[in-house]
A and B are shown apart, each in its own frame.
Chain A
């Protein structure tokens, strides 16, 4: 790996910073670059699925499959933009957008009952039966004023999650 920071020029760092709307400081970007190079073992310029799977804590995360899809094949600039939702400087809007994207698997801007069910299945595994899951979801949806066949959009998510104070910050190690 060596001195990777010497491979990133000032221009590179500034470009990345602009791309992620200044959610990371320059030091953090340098650290992220080192991490990116560490993960990108075959130096392909992007991190493939099995390189991500080699991070054990990522592999056992219940949502790893969905996150894979979002993060597979990203180059460094896009990698940083992806992670910007985890920065302490990220706005609430940004975080909710991120969560929405995780749910919206096919990227059509609408989250259906099936998407909600899929995520709930990832989080609960075999410990709740499929019927119970549907019941639970239908129940809480109706209680919040939606119907089973409602399609949720980003503004719905903002309304539901907007005032809960999402704790999603990750500290980038800077040495």
Chain B
């Protein structure tokens, strides 16, 4: 139970400010005196219940952003779905091998994958790590004085180890578009499916990424190697962290020497069929945003990392025993905030560009909801809003 409570707390701390997402003119709309029909008309509530039962796709604000204010005219046209868990469901592949002639072939495939491919890949990865560490440690320790050279070498080495990682899954990555380069006032955003997104992108360009602190060997890597590339770490469950992080982001973007900053604005891993709402943090830094779209080809392996179900190590092992990781990476045209556009609108616009390019659907869910179930607080919020409107309109004469 305590786990649920702490994640509820996280939700409260990191929930995006709902008012930011509501269209600004809707709340102030004069609604007039309260009449009997306003109280009897429960159709909005019923519609949401009906939509939930039916798992509908509506052209209205999603239930978590709706406010019961009598005749509130909903202006935005986001899609809403009942189970936001759809975004985080790893779609199990349909069993195609239960069949007399396909099953033996599949068994043969398993033998090849686990018996031949996996050892070879493990070997490649191990030798990659040996080479990397034997170059990285000397460079890191000996070249303490020559920062520029050291940074350059470390960058190249990080790219190298990422290439080894990609090779260990037989990664076939097709890059489209211009390669990113390090320039100040530039931020890269991408949709997020798994931590391997970072590795795939890091292969060609040494990005500095902002990531959640992880435990275990990943955490160790974060603190040592990734720190040299300029990664910013945060902890989801710490409230104060948010301000510190946004300050760090700003500083990083201003510096011309820093590696290009990569941000995953969804804030969590989503299965590669949908994008959830982008957090506005990356979009209010006053820099150019360069979108990157990543789409994995599911025929070979489902690259979605369900962090609630498996550890990263298990995920990597799963990848290493699959045939291949095939994906497309598109570096899209840099976008600037248009005059009069709010950061949230900007974020949504970029999300649309990325989703369109990758051919995936957009849903209006907050990624952090993944960490907690809808709580009675949501019901209370709605009740409160309705209650306030009733009282207010009662005053109107």
Contacts and interface: CB of A to CB of B under 8 A. Distances in A.
A86 B34 contact: no
Interface stretch (B35-43, B106-114, B124-132, B214-222): B35-43
Interface stretch (A4-12, A15-23, A166-174): A166-174
Interface residues of A, number: 55
Interface stretch (B44-52, B309-317, B335-343): B44-52
Nearest to A123: B386
Interface residues of B, number: 46
Contacts of B47: 86, 167-170
B333 interface: no
A112 interface: no
A52 B53 contact: yes
A8 B88 CA distance: 30
Contacts of A39: 53
A95 B50 CA distance: 12
Contacts of A62: 45, 379, 382-383
Nearest to A160: B37
Contacts of A168: 43, 46-47, 50
B373 interface: yes
B8 to A, nearest CB: 13
B55 interface: yes
Contacts of A85: 46, 50
B6 interface: no
Q: Determine which residue in A98, A125, A137 has the highest number of CB atoms from chain B within 10 A of its CB, and name it.
A: A125
A123 B54 contact: no
Given A99-B42, A124-B387, A168-B46, A144 B51 contact: no
Contacts of A86: 46-47, 50-51, 54
Contact of B42 (A58, A63, A83, A137): A63
Given A83-B54, A99-B43, A127 B384 contact: yes
Interface string A21-59: 000000000001001001100000000000010011111
Interface stretch (B136-144, B201-209, B388-396): B388-396
Nearest to A169: B47
Contacts of A136: 34, 39, 390-391, 394
B57 interface: yes
A61 B68 contact: no
A61 B54 contact: no
A120 B91 CA distance: 41
B26 to A, nearest CB: 15
9 contacts: A57-B48, A59-B374, A99-B41, A123-B383, A125-B384, A126-B380, A170-B54, A171-B57, A173-B55
Contact of B383 (A55, A127, A157): A127
Main secondary structure of the interface of B (DSSP, over half): helix
B63 interface: yes
A125 B383 contact: yes
A139 interface: yes
Interface of A: 32, 35, 38-39, 52, 55-64, 67, 71, 83, 85-86, 95, 98-99, 102-103, 116, 119-120, 123-128, 132, 136-137, 139-141, 143-144, 146, 157, 160-161, 164, 166-173
B105 interface: no
Contact of A127 (B45, B53, B376, B388): B388
Contact of B46 (A56, A63, A161): A63
**A52, A57, A103, A123 — which one has the most chain B CB atoms within 10 A of its CB?**
A57
A83 B387 contact: no
Q: Which of B50, B56, B382, B383 has the most CB of A within 10 A?
A: B50
Interface in B72-88: 82-83
B49 A164 contact: no
Interface in B330-389: 373-376, 378-380, 382-384, 386-388
B374 A57 contact: yes
A57 B52 contact: yes
B49 A58 contact: yes
A95 B379 contact: no
Contacts of B42: 63, 99, 102, 119, 123
A123 B384 CA distance: 9
Contacts of A126: 380, 383
Given A123-B68, A127-B384, A172-B56, 14 more contacts: A57-B374, A60-B374, A61-B45, A61-B49, A86-B46, A116-B40, A125-B384, A136-B34, A136-B39, A136-B394, A137-B39, A144-B35, A161-B40, A168-B43
Nearest to A166: B43
Nearest to B34: A140
Contacts of B384: 125, 127
